[in-house]
Structure 1
Amino acid sequence: MADKQISLPAKLINGGAAGIIGVTCIFPIDLVKTRLQNQRSGHQVYKSMFDCLIKTLRSEGYFGMYRGAAVNLTLVTPEKAIKLAANDYFRHLLAKEGVSLSLSKEMMAGCGAGFCQVIVTTPMEMLKIQLQDAGRLASQQLVSRVPCSVPGCKLVAVSPVQTRAYNVGPAVFPRRISATQIAAELLHTQGIKGLYKGLGATLLRDVPFSIIYFPLFAHLNKAEQDSMEERAPFIRSFLAGCMAGSVAAVSVNPCDVIKTRLQSMGKGRNEESYNGIIDCARKIWMKEGPSAFLKGAGCRALVIAPLFGIAQVIYFIGLGEFLIDLYQYRRLSP
């Protein structure tokens, strides 16, 4: 984020707080992004971002908009902490005293941070996507009246409970499943590699994202400053985080579409299965056209921009340092 040296505990607090606040604010849009990216041509339940938001709210209620949020809220602290700490570590490793990092070294530091974060990001995304996509699969089954028979659909099976859907009368609705149930099923059937399905695609997305984001943020944040040691104003850090996050998010959106498709175990009627990154990219290109790689790009930009803007706010405020100082003061006070 910034070049200021911060202790590891403070980084953990800053990263965790930024992640939790950010995820809580933008998660419904992230859910819409996942559902739009998983739609295939000819089997579209949602017409646009707003259509998806409205239908999800009507059929699943307010809390349905946060399906899968618990996974993110649980794992976002280590994910953000790893990303922050790794980027700072590699910047420090590549830096020479008194000399600012070159663009190539900033990109190398971002690359290292991207590689490190997938340890947590891959299982987090894997579990989140299963939960987020359950409503889309159930809606498609409802419209087509054909049950999903592809292996893995049992994780998003529907229950016989009747509820009111957004476009028809009484209908079945997705059975409430938890990330723990999905994780246990994957570990039982596939072992630890089940949680890391789509690892290559996650690397393909997160490494370029970090290569773009961290250098771009650093340069936008330091624009028009005379001294490298001078701290950027709050509003500039916020806007730099939003702008850098949006640019990086849209740039790697094709990789995010591939990752989402590979990590979605449940398939609807006539939906393709994929055998790796190349097979997935080829089938999407041939059957859905180049525009399919931009599905959810607007949603992803709306998710990432405030998420990283909020991260800069938390970093600017220095919540981690404040809490540590407060703890030390109370411990030493009589």
Structure 2
Amino acid sequence: MADKQISLPAKLINGGIAGLIGVTCVFPIDLAKTRLQNQQNGSRLYTSMSDCLIKTIRSEGYFGMYRGAAVNLTLVTPEKAIKLAANDFFRHHLSKDGKLTLFKEMLAGCGAGTCQVIVTTPMEMLKIQLQDAGRIGKSKSTQMDVLMLCCLCSSAAQRKLMPETVAAGTVETKSPTAMQLTRQLLREKGIAGLYKGLGATLLRRIMVSFLTSFLPIRMDLLPFMSLYIAVIKTRLQSLNRGSTEDTYSGVTDCISKIMRNEGPSAFLKGAYCRALVIAPLFGIAQVVYFLGVGEFLLSFLPKKDN
């Protein structure tokens, strides 16, 4: 009975710790994934994950790789808590004599994924804006440099001013904070503004939860099964675009424009990064659960006498 009483709290602690460690370890790769997925053919700044990270460090510093990390670190624990609690809830109500059929395992996983998006959608919405701000700023800065160079080359007098003027043109505007973005979205679009891309997020989360419910080879399938949806979700949740980049009104519009303007291969943008992110996250979660960190911490609490 005691084990059952501490089961859920231990799971919540394990999930929170695994989430915090995982986000910290893989966030630079996740940032590269977002920027690679968002860049379109007419505004390519990065050729690969390593090129993206190197340019990010050069232009934004080491901590530039952690733009938006605070949002994830803040919300990852309630996200895991909702997912784990919902999964236990659905499993309890769907089980018969403590056993679940394969179909009910799938339903429990899908139900947990559906509940999880309550936190996941606004979390990823804000994270993507912050992660992509550096790419948008750099793109606009590059366009400004080109225009200024054209003007400066028009006369000898202007060419003398070129070093000072170009330096001023390359300075990026300060990136907004998560709180500023949240207030702006709530003011302009209401609560729905934080849930843009909900359909794509829900579809991906249900798919992930569905696979993790019962497939023994799920760790190999997850990166590839969610790739196509991941690109669509990232594009839909990005509010700011370069002057030459497409905007999208929904999932169908996004798919059709990507297919028409960039081809099917565009859905695989950031695939390598996605695979590198998924593996450590699951590995860290498995280690935390295997070591029983939550159970260890709860063991120090005074036990109630029956």
Question: C-alpha separation between the residues in 2 aligned to 1:80 and 1:245?
Answer: 18
Q: Does the aligned pair in 2 maintain the 1:134–1:174 contact within 8 Å? A: no
Match of 2:172 in 1: 173
Match of 1:114 in 2: 113
Q: Structure 1 residues 146, 276: CA separation in 2 closer, same or farther (over 3 Å shift)?
A: farther
Match of 1:307 in 2: 281
Paired letter, 1:56: T
Q: Does the aligned pair in 2 maintain the 1:246–1:301 contact within 8 Å? A: no
Question: Which deviations, in whole Å up to 9, do the C-alpha atoms of 1:70-97 show, x marking residues without a partner?
Answer: 0000000011111222223323332232
Q: Does the aligned pair in 2 maintain the 1:245–1:301 contact within 8 Å? A: no
Question: Which deviations, in whole Å up to 9, do the C-alpha atoms of 1:207-259 show, x marking residues without a partner?
Answer: 1111112312xx36xxxxxxxxxxxxxxxxxxxxxxx3452132111111111
Match of 2:160 in 1: none
Paired letter, 1:270: T
**Deviation of residue 294 (structure 1)?**
1.0
Question: C-alpha separation between the residues in 2 aligned to 1:283 and 1:62?
Answer: 35
| TM-score, L = length of structure 2 | 0.86
Consecutive aligned runs of 4 or more in structure 1 exceeding 3 Å deviation: none
Paired letter, 1:202: T
**Deviation of residue 270 (structure 1)?**
1.2
- Residue 139 in structure 1 maps to residue 138 in structure 2: yes
Question: Within 5 Å, which residues of 2 pair with 1:84-103?
Answer: 84-97=84-97, 99=99, 101-103=100-102
Greater Cα shift, 261-270 or 206-215:
206-215
Match of 1:325 in 2: 299
Question: C-alpha separation between the residues in 2 aligned to 1:27 and 1:50?
Answer: 14
The percent identity for this pair of structures is: 63
Question: C-alpha separation between the residues in 2 aligned to 1:28 and 1:258?
Answer: 21
Question: Which deviations, in whole Å up to 9, do the C-alpha atoms of 1:92-115 show, x marking residues without a partner?
Answer: 33223264x333222222111110
Match of 1:56 in 2: 56
SS at match of 2:300: helix
Greater share of residues in helix: 2
**Deviation of residue 144 (structure 1)?**
2.1
Question: Within 5 Å, which residues of 2 pair with 1:216-255?
Answer: 216=215, 219=216, 244-255=218-229
Question: C-alpha separation between the residues in 1 aligned to 2:231 and 2:183?
Answer: 26
SS at match of 2:247: coil
Match of 2:76 in 1: 76
**Deviation of residue 264 (structure 1)?**
0.4
Match of 1:32 in 2: 32
Paired letter, 1:281: I
Question: C-alpha separation between the residues in 2 aligned to 1:291 and 1:102?
Answer: 38
Question: C-alpha separation between the residues in 1 aligned to 2:268 and 2:211?
Answer: 18
**Deviation of residue 200 (structure 1)?**
1.1
Question: Which deviations, in whole Å up to 9, do the C-alpha atoms of 1:171-226 show, x marking residues without a partner?
Answer: 2124132100100111111111111111111112111111112312xx36xxxxxx
Question: C-alpha separation between the residues in 2 aligned to 1:15 and 1:250?
Answer: 24
SS at match of 2:171: strand
Q: How many residue pairs are counted as aligned between the two chains?
A: 282
Unaligned 5+ residue runs, structure 2?
147-165
SS at match of 2:57: helix
State the Cα RMSD in Å. 2.1
Question: C-alpha separation between the residues in 2 aligned to 1:245 and 1:138?
Answer: 36
Question: C-alpha separation between the residues in 1 aligned to 2:232 and 2:145?
Answer: 26
- Residue 286 in structure 1 maps to residue 260 in structure 2: yes
Question: C-alpha separation between the residues in 1 aligned to 2:143 and 2:13?
Answer: 47
Q: Structure 1 residues 81, 98: CA separation in 2 closer, same or farther (over 3 Å shift)?
A: closer
SS at match of 2:299: helix
1:257 aligns with one of 231, 249, 256: 231
| TM-score, L = length of structure 1 | 0.79
1:298 aligns with one of 272, 279, 282: 272
SS at match of 2:126: helix
Paired letter, 2:118: I
